[in-house]
Amino acid sequence: MKNQDIAKAARSSRFPKSIFFGYFGALLLLSGVHIALLLGMQRAHFNEILLIHVILIFWALVAGGLTLYTRHQVRKTYELPMLRLADAAAKIAKGDFSVRVEPINDREKFDYLDYMIEDFNKMAAELGSIETLRVDFFSNVSHEIKTPIAVIQNSAEMLKKPDLSEKIRQEYVDTITNAAKRLNTLITNILKLNKLEKQSITPNVSEFDLCDQLVQSALLFESVWEEKGIEFEADIADERRLITADAELLPLVWNNLLSNSFKFTEKGGTVTLREYSGNGKVIVEVQDSGCGMDKQTKKHIFDKFYQGDTSHSTEGNGLGLALALRVLQLTGGEIDVQSEPGRGTKFIVTMNI
């Protein structure tokens, strides 16, 4: 639609009728003046040399006037907007993404210059939001790194005290080990996300059995569901479901969905992993009877570093679902979530077979 508009604007500006009629009218009028001058001077018996000079001066003035008028129009219509655009581009180059350029015409009279200005404004807005994301990303990373480092520093200071009981000493050592593990997971996840976000990464596609992969992922959590007394059910409808996808990336999705379900479900709750297929699609669901999420949380769960449930925020960094989403975008899969506070959560992943 927009491209057609631009083509139409460019076509109609190739022979602007208003300029043609404007110049035609002006030249007719000036020719009239020319004839009137000529007749008037002949009638007054002007000498011929003077007559030619007057006519030449008249047309020189006309040519000068038209040149100045055309120059003024070109400056008003093209040069000034271009200068404003160049000015704005220079500001963006210096890092000011708040600049916007006013279009020249009203929307219904937009020409290709207006479309160019509009696209320029969109580009500036887009660059601005990327910059905000980048700044947010760095402040989040710094925060996530500072917290475990402060914990390690404090515990190490405490360990220096001479007469500590063996139990307390062990507690400090455990705290340090956990904080170091947390740092390790954080850095690993940031590196993974960075790798996945590079446009160049192409999934390493092969054919494999999804059901087997799901069971392997679930088994990683056996100690967690036993320790927390959670009832885990694997409801795998297909005996074997061969799919063509990246067999190394997809476990990131299942592991994170399962880890979230076990993390946000209290003792005695249930977690179900379901798989079924039909209509050329395979569907994987991870459902839990845990704390659930409100609307506000649901809106942000795929944002990097977002953690909705503050009571669990010491576990993880809020990168799991951002990673899962990115993997599914690369694999061509979709993820959906149904959740209500206090009534559990269900994540639904759909992929083509």
Ligand X SMILES: Nc1ncnc2c1ncn2[C@@H]1O[C@H](COP(=O)(O)OP(=O)(O)OP(=O)(O)O)[C@@H](O)[C@H]1O
Residues at the contact surface with ligand X, assessed by CB under 6 A: 256, 260-261, 264, 288, 290-293, 297, 301, 306-309, 316-322, 345
Q: Choosing among ligand X, Mg ion, none, which partner's interface includes residue 258 (Cβ < 5 to 8 Å by kind)?
A: none
Stretch that binds Mg ion, among 49-57, 180-188, 258-266, 345-353 (CB under 5 A): 258-266
Q: Choosing among ligand X, Mg ion, none, which partner's interface includes residue 117 (Cβ < 5 to 8 Å by kind)?
A: none
Stretch that binds Mg ion, among 75-83, 224-232, 238-246, 260-268 (CB under 5 A): 260-268
Asked whether the beta carbons of 120 and 134 are under 8 A apart, the reply is no
Q: CB of 171: closest distance to ligand X in angstroms?
A: 23
Q: Out of 260, 261, 331, 345, name the contact with Mg ion by CB under 5 A.
A: 260
Stretch that binds Mg ion, among 55-63, 230-238, 264-272, 312-320 (CB under 5 A): 312-320
Closest CA to 315 of 203, 224, 243: 224
Asked whether the beta carbons of 258 and 218 are under 8 A apart, the reply is yes
Q: CB of 308: closest distance to ligand X in angstroms?
A: 3
Q: CB of 263: closest distance to Mg ion in angstroms?
A: 7
Nearer Cβ to ligand X (319/335): 319
b/e map of 103-127 (b: 16 or more CB within 10 Å)? bbeeeeebbebbbbbeebbeebeee
Nearer Cβ to ligand X (213/256): 256
Asked whether the beta carbons of 340 and 292 are under 8 A apart, the reply is yes
Q: CB of 259: closest distance to Mg ion in angstroms?
A: 5
From edge to edge, which strands make up the β-sheet containing 345-352? 231-236, 270-278, 281-288, 345-352, 334-339
Asked whether the beta carbons of 274 and 284 are under 8 A apart, the reply is yes
317 binds Mg ion (CB under 5 A): no
Task: Write the CB contacts of 349 (distance below 8 Å, at least 6 apart in sequence).
Answer: 253, 257, 283, 284, 285, 328, 333, 334, 335, 336
Q: What is the C-alpha R_g of the chain?
A: 36
Query: H or E stretch including 278?
Result: strand 270-278
Q: CB of 317: closest distance to Mg ion in angstroms?
A: 9
Nearer Cβ to ligand X (13/188): 188
Q: CB of 260: closest distance to Mg ion in angstroms?
A: 4
Residues that bind Mg ion (CB under 5 A): 256, 260, 316, 320
